[in-house]
Chain A
């Protein structure tokens, strides 16, 4: 019998200076989190265009998480403030589109917070699994 366990696709955008280093630290400390999470490195969380997130959902991602430096600790001084405002707008737009807001998350993870990175990813994956597959925004034309 074939068991079709739901394996969500989760895209994580991590800023190079804090969160990506935090993810590396989680790795060095062997703190495990689900393999469903795949990380894309960006210089700063403010490089993440809301368009990237919509694109991910359109291509069938089940969850998208953005990690940046804590407010006040941005390597570029103010990048994460922009992210915070842009994502606040995107959240309300997701609402408007009828997508569960919980499919997207914004989290501050510093370079020293390997443990926080791992727990955040575990929580987020659990959340996405409970929400199930993203069908509403997935554009089937993208699937061949």
Chain B
């Protein structure tokens, strides 16, 4: 029989206001097994924990029930308390009388009654608890970073600098991500390439970092400290180890009309290409969708001109298996499609562009060599209209836009407007805004400079319609402060498109069993206190895959994620979860039902000798659970027809006891 101590927390007035804590502790004192019952203002405080420790010693307690907030909050706290007083941490159960009782019931009678039942249920469970010891597992001292944008680059560099090996998997032929496409960065206006490319070179030259470019994560198995990852290296038909990146092939290739995705399709590239001059790795890639040699075997020009003999038309996708201790997700973002916003005429006129396209136009390495010209006729535009919040903060148009604020648009629009006015003082620049949101160091000053010093016309109101008329774009908008509708004959319209997580993020989340929110952003373990960790152990989040972020924030978060990874990889062993399945060999009939439902492949079978009657020996096939692999979901316990399989910490008997206690 257990000797149970019950501790009822007031949580200040959070619990005590709607639950009569004294009545609860008195009622629970009468439950079977309870030898001590107390209540205190803040159980989780140092004084409260001391109270528990003293009671354990004084009453020789073997089990503890704490009636307090959610176990998701303080289960660990009280387990540590119990452990420090010398009893097994898994002899602690929490009755959730705050989130699931005092906070939702207003009537003190109802609240007290329910709190007693919840306490009784926890006591019934503790009566059947058994001490559990967590197994230990080794840690593979290598990290995987998925995504090679600025987030992934920074995380990889920080982890590698701490002395651990890092692999970056990037789906494009080069790392660099969105930042490589940008022209200048707010609020300091330093050029994106000047601050990014040195970091890309650092990554390439770092002895601890390997880059898997033009590759994808194909499968992930295992658990924290011991992930088995399959990386698919897509065939680029060029031998990476031989190619010198001279670029001769990209000049000679006869297929010239391939839309250049790096410039968002505003110019063309060849079928064999290097995305941009500072690409890392600087290796050519053949686009199999356009290459004549790969499509019908007629060409081979690149192979002829290549002096390094790097072209290999026979190359196949290869699968690489690798072990990692931690995985960082840095899959980034994309602007949403503007196709559905008919009112802005994006599909009708080439002169309506997204901000990222505008970024390429303004970029010295872009399709216009940085000259601001209209995409339709190459003429210099005089009137430019910037439209903010296109698709952001869109509550009722889920099929078109996003409900959240994309966060970065206010600042980059101010930047675009400022740069345009700076380079071309003959232009008229209008920015239509709903709110200008500039929370960040030197951000508001930057925006004000655009309006005050550069003479950008900020208009509070939204553009309702853009109508192409001749070579002009007629913009109809409202000016809410003047209470007027205004019509502007513009030469170019720039849409600040909302951003969304990269499409690949969803499948990666599924592979990692990491959770996502309804917008496909990865969820963090705690919105305030654990912002760079996923709720799944060993998975960390870096950059815009977790929510819209600008570059300074992304870099800060990347460093934070790296710190968490280093903290994990610095450990030699990890304590596992002791609440795992185990099979009673005497009852197991070796039917394989459990093996088939186990999502982790944690169950195997062994032939074991059992002593039969009259000194005979029986050999039977029985299930064995690998506690290091088992995650404790319990699927096998229900599948087992003989009742041999049970889950420690959530045993069938314990749950039955809980059911009985509730129904009593």
Asked if B155 lies at the interface with its beta carbon under 8 angstroms from chain A, I say no
Size of A's binding interface in residues, CB under 8 A: 48
Stretch of A33-41, A94-102, A125-133 with 4 or more beta carbons under 8 angstroms from chain B: A33-41
B96 is an interface residue with CB less than 8 A from chain A: yes
Contact A49 B637 (CB under 8 A): yes
> Are the C-beta atoms of A40 and B98 separated by less than 8 Å?
no
Whether B70 and A24, one on each chain, are in contact in the complex, defined by CB atoms closer than 8 angstroms, is: yes
B656 touches A47 (CB 8 A): no
Q: How far is the CA of A118 from the CA of B100 in the complex (A)?
A: 11
B647 and A24 contacting across the interface, CB-CB below 8 Å: no
Q: Which of B103-111, B246-254, B380-388, B478-486 contacts A (4 or more CB under 8 A)?
A: B103-111
A122 CB to nearest B CB, Å = 11
**A118 cross-chain contacts in B, Cβ below 8 A:** 104
Question: Residue on B with the closest CB to A36?
Answer: B114
- Contacts of A103 on B, CB cut-off 8 Å? none
The interface on chain B, measured as residues whose beta carbon lies within 8 A of the other chain's beta carbons, has a size of: 50
Near B by CB (< 8 A), chain A positions 31-75 give 31-33, 35, 38-44, 46-52, 55-56, 59-61, 72-75
A11-B659 in contact given A27-B98, A39-B100, A78-B599 (Cβ < 8 Å):
yes
Indicate which residue in B110, B513, B631, B638 contacts A48 across the interface (CB closer than 8 Å). Answer: B638
B305: min CB distance to chain A, Å: 49
A79 to B523, CA, bound (A): 20
In contact, A9 and B662 (Cβ under 8 angstroms): yes
Q: Tell yes or no: B518 within 8 A of A by CB.
A: yes
Let me know if A28 is at the binding interface, CB within 8 A.
Answer: yes
**What's the minimum C-beta distance from B355 to chain A, rounded to whole angstroms?**
30
Bound state CA distance, A46 and B638, in angstroms? 7
Q: Find the A residue at minimum CB distance from B640.
A: A49
B535 contacts across to A, CB distance below 8 A: 17, 75
Do the beta carbons of A38 and B631 come within 8 Å of each other?
A: no
Partner of A43, one of B114, B121, B579, B599: B579
Asked whether B230 is an interface residue with its Cβ less than 8 Å from the other chain, the reply is no
B635, A11: Cβ atoms closer than 8 Å: no
- Taking a contact as CB atoms under 8 Å apart, the answer to whether A32 and B104 are in contact is yes
A111 at the interface (CB under 8 A from B): yes
Q: Nearest CB to that of B118 among chain A residues?
A: A38
Query: Which residue of A is nearest B106, CB measured?
Result: A32
| CB-CB contacts below 8 Å: A99-139 with B | 111-112, 118
Contact pattern, B 55-86, Cβ under 8 Å of A = 1, otherwise 0: 00000000000000011100000000000000
Chain A residue with minimal CB distance to B517?
Answer: A112
A51 and B652 alpha carbons, distance in the complex (Å): 9
Smallest beta-carbon distance B2→chain A, Å: 20
A35–B110 contact, CB under 8 A?
yes
Q: Is B633 an interface residue (CB 8 A)?
A: yes
Chain A: minimal CB distance from B663 (Å): 4
25 CB < 8 A contacts A-B: A23-B99, A27-B99, A27-B100, A32-B105, A38-B117, A38-B118, A43-B647, A46-B597, A46-B634, A47-B633, A47-B634, A49-B637, A49-B638, A49-B652, A52-B659, A55-B656, A56-B659, A59-B663, A73-B515, A74-B513, A75-B535, A79-B634, A86-B638, A112-B517, A112-B523
With contacts A9-B662, A28-B103 known, what are 20 further pairs, Cβ within 8 A? A11-B659, A11-B662, A20-B70, A26-B104, A27-B104, A31-B104, A32-B106, A38-B114, A38-B117, A43-B647, A44-B634, A47-B635, A49-B638, A51-B652, A75-B535, A77-B510, A78-B635, A79-B635, A111-B515, A112-B523
Residues of A within 8 A of B (CB): 9, 11, 16-17, 20-21, 23-24, 26-28, 30-33, 35, 38-44, 46-52, 55-56, 59-61, 72-79, 82, 86, 111-112, 118
